[in-house]
Amino acid sequence: MKQLKKIILALALLLPTGLFAQEAEEAPISDVIFEHVLDSYEWHITKWKDKDIAIYLPVIVYDDGWKVFSSKKLESGEYQGLHIALKGEKHEGKLVRADGSRPFDISITKNVLSLMMSSLLLVILVLLTARWYRKHDVCKEAPTGLAALMEPLVLMVHNMAKENIGEEDYRKYSPYLITAFLFILLNNFLGIIPFFPGGANLTGNIACTLVLALFTFFTVNLTGTKHYYKDMLWPDVPGILKPIMAVIEVFSALVKPISLTIRLFANMLAGHIQILCMVCIIFIMAKYGPLLTGSMSVISVLFGIFLDCLEMLISFIQAYIFTMLSSIYIGLARQKS
């Protein structure tokens, strides 16, 4: 966390010290950026007439018994012996006891709520697409509406699985790969939308990307063939090299989910930070006069739009790369000779 703060602070220092709207009048630019990219116990919507409009999410913890209450109770500081750790404390931004230790916490945070909503939305999109195919003969008419959007995405991943896994096995893994691709793509796009129900940085959260990578890891290693494990644990090399190569192969298998995790997390987080920095320029320049403010606002908006378009492209590319690498790893594990 400290290293990540240093990176964001370095990015912020590339800009003059400034403020982001009303929030930035009260906090440094790095804190404003962190507020938008990190998880929280409430979902801030907007500020209207100096009043914050937010969705206060349920806090669910076990601390000498289950405690369930609204996160609004924490606004005044401590509630039932719990408070949110302040800046610089060990568990900054997390719910802690008075002594700074963490209780068992399964609260519905901003990212958890975003996960629930995006999962529900994905199910609805898939069911609506399936409904169209049940009611129409695809041999006689081309898909329309939502089905026309979903079909090329599904076929792209289906063909990817066929090519990388092989015709014999690909049908067993294609549903997982399609689900992973659509889930990542949907959440990447939702993260770009600046207003509710978008704006959550779900795929820019390393916990989320780690779980996705572990799904691929366990799929690969729990369904691998004997040939896959033979090549890993007893490779076909001179005897003196077998122990060394076995260690390297096992290490390589463990590194694969780490690379999947960091690639998706880092790219999506960096995209959010870039866009926020461009937006901050408008408010940073506000104190330098109307001429500079107006000119820099135009530049900031133009670059912001450009970065939004670039982020949409990156969102698709990252979903594609995660799915492609997953299919390649599964294909390598399913080789029979």
pLDDT at res. 26? 46
Q: Are 183 and 119 in contact (CB under 8 A)?
A: yes
| pLDDT by position in tens, the chain (length 337) | 555 444 444 444 333 333 344 444 445 666 667 777 788 888 888 777 777 788 899 999 998 889 999 988 888 788 888 888 887 788 888 888 888 889 999 999 999 999 999 999 999 999 999 999 898 888 888 888 898 999 999 999 999 999 999 888 889 999 999 999 999 999 999 988 877 878 788 898 899 999 999 999 999 999 888 888 888 888 777 878 888 888 888 898 899 999 999 999 999 888 888 777 777 777 666 666 676 666 677 777 777 788 888 888 999 999 999 999 999 999 988 887 6
H/E stretch holding 214: helix 206-222
Helix axes 29-37, 2-13, angle to 10 degrees: 130
pLDDT at res. 175? 93
Q: Up-side HSE of residue 17: CA atoms within 13 Å toward CB? A: 3
Task: Tell me the pTM.
Answer: 0.84
pLDDT at res. 307? 81
pLDDT at res. 36? 75
Least Cα distance to 184 among 318, 11, 335 occurs for 318
Q: Rounded to the nearest 5 degrees, what angle is found at the Cα of 314, between the Cα atoms of 312 and 318?
A: 125
pLDDT at res. 21? 44
pLDDT at res. 337? 65
pLDDT at res. 233? 83
What is the distance between the alpha carbons of residues 189 and 181, in angstroms, rounded to a whole number?
12
Q: Are 272 and 319 in contact (CB under 8 A)?
A: no
DSSP string, 10-64: HHHHTSPS---HHHHTTS-HHHHHHHHHS--SEEEEEEETTEEEEEEPEEEEESS
Q: Are 89 and 100 in contact (CB under 8 A)?
A: yes
Give the distance, in angstroms, between the CA of residue 10 and the centroid of all CA atoms in the same chain.
22
CB-count exposure of residue 50 (10 Å: 0-12, 13-18, 19+): exposed
Q: Rounded to the nearest 5 degrees, what angle is found at the Cα of 122, between the Cα atoms of 116 and 128?
A: 135
DSSP string, 147-168: HHHHHHHHHHHHHHHHHHH-TT
The one-letter amino acid at 224: G
